[in-house]
Structure 1
Amino acid sequence: MSVDLWDSALIDASIWHSRTGDVSRQFRYRALYVALPVDQLESGRLPLRPDSPGLWRLRRRDHGHRDGSRLTAFAEAQLAPVGLAHCRITLVTMPRGLLHGFNPVSFWLARDHGGLRAVLAEVSNTFGESHVYLCRHADNREIRPGDRLRGKKMFHVSPFLPREGHYVFRFDTRPGRFGAWIDWFGQDGNLSLQTSMTGKARALTRTSLRRAAFRHAFQPLRVTGLIHWQAAKLFSRGVRYRTKPPQLAIRRSDAVTEKPDV
């Protein structure tokens, strides 16, 4: 039986990065994510509850407004101005572990009876900063698995990439799976970095959550270590290290339907 992300789920994700251009390098690792319907999360109807202790935790101040306020308030603030306040929201994220919490990217999926309408891609860096890319079609039609949404890169993530260029996003949220692809194109228009997070969805229950938390209690610490290990490899190969620029004042930007180059 397929598990729908809007009913809550565990996602056995495979994360892949491929860099080309100045240096060719690929790496892949696995991580376990959760898909949490935000209304059920905040009403306490899910096995994982916000701001509660445990081997796995979800803190409100790690997401959205980052001030501990309700997650639904953040989602509504982003979606209401573009006519999507009526959508149901599912948050796909990596919970905090026993000693550490870090989310390279979380996805807020906005859906109504007609399908997926928008995705808030909440990107974080290891410097404690975050930025949200609002991915949607300009007319708010359904986002299908093959649709490509383009947005200007506005946020410093890696010290081995400039902040300039643009992203192309793709998503697949059909039952039983989750997929997100984010490709980065430099100022020269060349595709230089491909990333993906894909995996099957399975039921989130008290038992499956307990087992997952026990087996992956230190997952965020492991992911942070892998990121720094890959950075060390790039540095050893002579890739230029870029000092972090001041974060831009704008904290949310748009990624809309990609138009073919003329």
Structure 2
Amino acid sequence: MTHRLYDCQVMHARLSPRLHRFVHDVFALAVDLDTLPQLGKGLALLGPDGWRPYQIRERDFLPRSEVFHPKKQSISDFGEPSDGLKARVLAFCKSQGTHIPLTARVTLVAMPRAFGKSYNPVSFHLIHIDERLYAALAEVHNTFGERKVWLLGPDCLQKDAVGESMLFLRTPKEFYVSPFSGLTADFEFSVREPNQRLSIQVDHFEGGVKTLVSTWTGQRIPLTDMRLAWLTVKNPFLIFKVISLIHLHAAWLWLAKGLPFRRKKDQPELQHDLRNPH
């Protein structure tokens, strides 16, 4: 698979207890980890490291760090300190009971590090065996620097309405992402194959009721310096923009719409399997 560039939109629609909706432009990459070192070939603005304004660095994803798990249950494994990102993906899958062969293709779907700053509210590691979608990891990152990873294993495979493969998982969240969402809620991930279009949905359920819909959709465009320059004009300071908008909308929900504010420190016993706990 060649590396791919997507011109995207992120949409959030809060359904309860107050209505609130927004749409923002971003862009994303789908990167084959086996050929990540060749990512910058022929490009001045994007590469795996170095001085380029946009980068995909392996160390920005699935970092090895402390695990916080109050229940003392079995913990996940991200492999050895010397492992590359693909090896860390396979190690995590193995720790969850899913063996992935070394010949599998792993594709990272994420926003790039931009002008030295890296932050992805969610990124995905899609796993293909024999060129067929088989599994994925969803890596969710909050603004405290914490991360949590979920495996969408082969038992999550489904067919969508047009017969294409997708991965679907509804799972307990047990992770502090927003002061307006309970820790006992569920995440529902729906991930489709990123071909000409990117289509990912992450919904939120509290008490069995859908309270938040979020989508990440995009159209594939040529991966060239000209397109990256155009996206830079369209989305200046990409990562700073994303982080600023998260805080701006949170302030609006609290101050203007009166949503109750939950503090992260109030329920540590409900926050499990965190990387880099705050």
Work out whether residues 5 and 222 of structure 2, in 8 Å CA contact, stay in contact via their aligned partners in 1: yes
2:214, 2:33 → 1: CA distance? 26
Question: What is the letter of the counterpart of residue 19 of structure 1?
Answer: R
Match of 2:248 in 1: 229
Q: Residue 29 of structure 1: CA displacement?
A: 0.5
Work out whether residues 122 and 132 of structure 1, in 8 Å CA contact, stay in contact via their aligned partners in 2: yes
Match of 2:130 in 1: 113
Q: Deviations over 1:6-43 (max 9, x none)?
A: 32111111111111121111111110111111110046
Q: Residue 62 of structure 1: CA displacement?
A: 1.6
Question: What is the letter of the counterpart of residue 261 of structure 2?
Answer: Y
Q: Residue 231 of structure 1: CA displacement?
A: 0.3
After TM superposition, the structure 1 stretch with the greater mean CA deviation from structure 2, 12-21 or 62-71, is: 62-71
After TM superposition, the structure 1 stretch with the greater mean CA deviation from structure 2, 98-107 or 116-125, is: 98-107
Task: Determine whether 1:31 maps to 2:29.
Answer: no
2:222, 2:82 → 1: CA distance? 27
Within 5 Å, give how 1:92-171 maps onto structure 2: 92-113=109-130, 115-138=132-155, 144=164, 148-171=168-191
Match of 1:181 in 2: 201
Q: 1:139 to 1:32 in 2, by over 3 A?
A: closer
Question: What is the letter of the counterpart of residue 116 of structure 1?
Answer: L
Task: Determine whether 1:9 maps to 2:4.
Answer: yes
What do you get for the CA RMSD once the two structures are aligned? 2.7
Match of 2:77 in 1: none
Work out whether residues 159 and 165 of structure 2, in 8 Å CA contact, stay in contact via their aligned partners in 1: no
Q: Residue 217 of structure 1: CA displacement?
A: 5.1
Q: Which runs of 5+ in 1 are unaligned?
A: 1-5, 253-262
Match of 1:259 in 2: none
1:53, 1:241 → 2: CA distance? 41
Aligned counterpart in structure 1 of residue 54 of structure 2, from 56, 61, 68: 56
The structure 1 segments of at least 4 consecutive aligned residues displaced by more than 6 Å after TM superposition are 139-143
Q: 1:149 to 1:123 in 2, by over 3 A?
A: same
Q: 1:78 to 1:163 in 2, by over 3 A?
A: same
2:52 alignment partner, SS class: coil
1:21 alignment partner, SS class: coil
Match of 1:74 in 2: 88
Aligned counterpart in structure 1 of residue 237 of structure 2, from 218, 222, 233: 218
Aligned length: 246
1:57, 1:44 → 2: CA distance? 9
Task: Determine whether 1:199 maps to 2:213.
Answer: no
The percentage of counterpart residues that share the same residue type is: 31
Q: 1:199 to 1:159 in 2, by over 3 A?
A: same
Work out whether residues 108 and 120 of structure 1, in 8 Å CA contact, stay in contact via their aligned partners in 2: yes
Task: Determine whether 1:250 maps to 2:273.
Answer: yes
Work out whether residues 101 and 221 of structure 1, in 8 Å CA contact, stay in contact via their aligned partners in 2: no
After TM superposition, the structure 1 stretch with the greater mean CA deviation from structure 2, 111-120 or 231-240, is: 111-120
Match of 2:74 in 1: none
After TM superposition, the structure 1 stretch with the greater mean CA deviation from structure 2, 141-150 or 102-111, is: 141-150
Match of 1:65 in 2: 63
Q: Residue 222 of structure 1: CA displacement?
A: 0.7
Match of 1:87 in 2: 104
Work out whether residues 157 and 165 of structure 2, in 8 Å CA contact, stay in contact via their aligned partners in 1: no
Work out whether residues 3 and 39 of structure 2, in 8 Å CA contact, stay in contact via their aligned partners in 1: no
Match of 2:209 in 1: 190
Q: Deviations over 1:181-235 (max 9, x none)?
A: 111111x210101111011112324554455457645110011111111001101
